């Protein structure tokens, strides 16, 4: 990429960052707001943001927000909140939601490490993890969004036996998450190491992210697992080596 292209890309990002703050239902707390205290909307997302008591469903690492927006269109009686740290990416979903008048989708710009500062006990019904960084190296294992470390964070604010969805192109992440669920006796409701081969027709295949489209073009297999997360016990990590 030449200097001119980099400059134009930088200008576009700045414009999107500026517009992001003007879009409805986009929340951008500072680190100081959540590092040592709870966010002011904790426990109040339904009442203060969506104005109803419908189920609250999160998309972690939402990127451009394709899943959050797609699910919001398909299920108007549910509330969706896309979470990502990249403001320029969130802008795409937030802009689409604004232009299409979707009142049941919002976006939160923050690090997922801070997620317990945003949600109260029993506040979240479901959680989607779409094409996360697989964190394949052993020293990065605690960073996995579908690993025991984060599952125990989620259980602090999800309803008992809330639903976790993982969609990925990474075989290791899929198999390790499946093994982790089985090791902890979690109820696995549906799983596949190649969802397109099996002819599924639900939101796991009808909604595609920007990255998924690229992966499919390259011939990658897309895997999926849906399981239940109990709120009354600790999820224990597997200890086999990951290279």
Query: Looking at the annotation, which residues are catalytic?
Result: 133
**Is the Cβ–Cβ distance between 153 and 127 less than 8 Å?**
no
Q: How is residue 114 written in tokens?
A: 């801070």
The pairing of beta strand 26-27 with beta strand 79-84? unpaired
Which residue matches tokens 């960052």?
Answer: 17
The CA distance from 98 to 105, in Å, is 9
For the CA atoms of 83, 85, 89, 95, the dihedral, rounded to the nearest 10 degrees, stands at 50
Reduced to 3 states, what is the DSSP secondary structure of residue 69? helix
The CA distance from 56 to 124, in Å, is 5
List, in sequence order, every residue forming a beta bridge with 225; answer none if it has no partner: 166, 191
The CA distance from 110 to 30, in Å, is 8
């Amino acid at each position: 990429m030449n200097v001119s292209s980099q400059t134009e890309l930088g200008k576009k990002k700045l414009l999107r960052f500026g517009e992001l703050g003007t879009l409805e239902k986009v929340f951008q707390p500072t680190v100081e707001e959540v590092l040592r205290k709870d966010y002011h909307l904790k426990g109040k997302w339904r009442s203060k943001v969506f104005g109803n008591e419908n189920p609250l469903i999160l998309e972690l690492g939402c990127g451009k927000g394709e899943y959050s927006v797609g699910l919001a269109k398909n299920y108007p009686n549910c509330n969706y909140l896309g979470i990502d740290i990249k403001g320029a990416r969130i802008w795409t979903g937030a802009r689409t939601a604004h232009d299409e008048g979707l009142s049941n989708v919002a976006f939160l710009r923050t690090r997922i490490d801070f997620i317990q500062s945003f949600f109260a006990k029993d506040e979240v019904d479901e959680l989607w993890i779409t094409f996360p960084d697989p964190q394949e190296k052993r020293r990065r294992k605690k960073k996995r969004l579908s690993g025991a470390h984060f599952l125990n964070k989620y259980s602090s604010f999800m309803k008992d036996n809330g639903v976790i969805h993982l969609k990925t192109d990474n075989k290791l992440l899929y198999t390790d998450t499946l093994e982790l669920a089985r090791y902890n006796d979690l109820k696995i409701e549906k799983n596949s190491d190649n969802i397109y081969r099996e002819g599924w027709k639900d939101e796991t295949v009808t909604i595609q992210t920007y990255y998924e489209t690229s992966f499919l073009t390259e011939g990658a297999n897309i895997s999926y697992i849906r399981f239940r997360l109990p709120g009354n016990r600790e999820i224990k990590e597997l200890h086999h080596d990951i290279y």
